[in-house]
Amino acid sequence: MAYLSGYQYYENSGNVPQDANWGSYQYVSLTDVVNNFMLIYQGNHEIVNNINRYQVLFHAKRAIQELNYDAFKEIKALELDVCDDLRFILPPDFVNWVRISLFKNGMLYPLTENIQANSAGSYLQDNNCNILFDQSGNILQPEHSLLDTKRLAGTAKTMYLNENSIYNGCDGYCIDGEWYFDFQIGARYGLNTETANSSPTFRIDKANGVINFSSGMAGEHCVLEYISDGMNRQPFTGTGSKADPYVPNPSDVGVRVHKFFEEFIYAYIKYSILNSRFGIQEYVVRRAQKDKSALLRNAKIRISNLHPARLLMNLRGQNKLIK
């Protein structure tokens, strides 16, 4: 990251958006990481030599991804409205979810994942249950399966959960916010703890990149907290010829990592290259591996923000009497 003047940092030199550089100095870009490694850590007098730039770029990306999965404590949040199709499209950098909540009346209500299928694909069939094909031999599919149709219409049978009601734990139908129940024959024992929540439920369809909700989520606000792989991209704004190997690839612009982990990424790249190269002594590879592990451990301690004031606030309650 190049040094910025006060006007560049606070006002973005009069450009839009104004906050483009706020907090940027604590990060180093992927382009700078690759350039620094090529200039400092590889050469004829270094352990790593005769290495191509695309190999360094590959290992640098893998290091950033592993850091986002394991070390970073940055959880991204995205709020979207859920329309009548009861779908929430996953963001492009989604890897795994942390919490999915219903935002209502200024509060977040965590939703429960329903492991039972609430969405499915379907094939068109004739009266003899034979699958139908088009002229090219492709299977014909309807717009929605019967399961999706009932879920979208709010007529799929679900469990009613309300401890203050005599129908708590009964299977019924939620239509336009009103619940309808069948006649109860016999008794139902036990509670399905997997869906024991009065809020709507969801299930993530990773193959299609969407979250499917139960019918009670229509027209509501959903907040998705998720883990990113760190490969979030921004439009290419650089100058120069794209054939120049030191001009960043358009897909890599905007990828960055915290400076606490910069030295670890260099060690990760060096170890990955040495580990996959033929003829390197085993003690050299092991030394690079130990350097990588030590730098990762140090970086985790630095980014953990163990402030004495925070610890003191927690310790103040150790003598609290529990009545």
- Pick the last residue of a domain from 228, 254, 279: 228
Domain identity same for 84 and 224: yes
Alpha helices in the chain (DSSP H): 6-11, 30-36, 53-70, 146-153, 262-275, 282-303, 308-315
Domains in the chain: how many in total? Answer: 2
In a domain, 14, yes or no: no
Domain identity same for 86 and 200: yes
- Pick the last residue of a domain from 228, 257, 292: 228
In a domain, 238, yes or no: no
Domain identity same for 114 and 180: yes
In a domain, 6, yes or no: no
Among residues 261, 320, 259, which one has the least CA distance to residue 295? 261
pLDDT score at 180: 66
Q: What is the pLDDT along the chain (323 residues), one digit of tens a residue?
A: 457 888 988 998 898 888 888 888 888 989 999 999 999 999 888 889 889 999 999 999 999 998 988 888 678 899 999 988 888 999 988 999 999 999 988 899 999 887 776 677 788 888 888 998 998 999 898 888 877 777 777 665 667 777 777 777 777 766 666 676 655 545 555 566 666 667 788 889 888 899 988 878 888 999 999 988 888 754 444 433 343 444 456 566 678 888 999 999 999 999 999 999 998 999 999 999 999 999 999 998 888 877 787 778 777 777 766 65
Domain identity same for 49 and 104: no
Separation between Cα atoms, residue 211 and residue 201, nearest integer Å: 10
In a domain, 108, yes or no: yes
Contacts of 6 (CB under 8 A, 6+ apart): none
Domain identity same for 58 and 113: no
In a domain, 11, yes or no: no
pLDDT score at 247: 46
Domain identity same for 29 and 135: no
Helix (H, G, I), strand (E, B) or coil at 257: strand
In a domain, 239, yes or no: no
pTM of the model: 0.68
Domain identity same for 109 and 211: yes
In a domain, 320, yes or no: no
Residue carrying the six token digits 């358009």: 250
pLDDT score at 184: 53
**At 67, which amino acid appears?**
L
In a domain, 3, yes or no: no
Residues forming a β-bridge with 284: none
- Pick the last residue of a domain from 228, 262, 288: 228
pLDDT score at 234: 47
Among residues 90, 84, 81, 220, which one has the least CA distance to residue 151? 84
Q: Which domain holds residue 32?
A: 24-73+244-305
Q: How far is CA 15 from the centre of its chain?
A: 30
Other C-beta atoms closer than 10 Å to the C-beta of 86 total 25
Domain identity same for 88 and 67: no
Domain identity same for 122 and 250: no
Among residues 281, 230, 239, which one has the least CA distance to residue 257? 230
Domain identity same for 166 and 287: no
Domain identity same for 123 and 251: no
Domain identity same for 111 and 192: yes
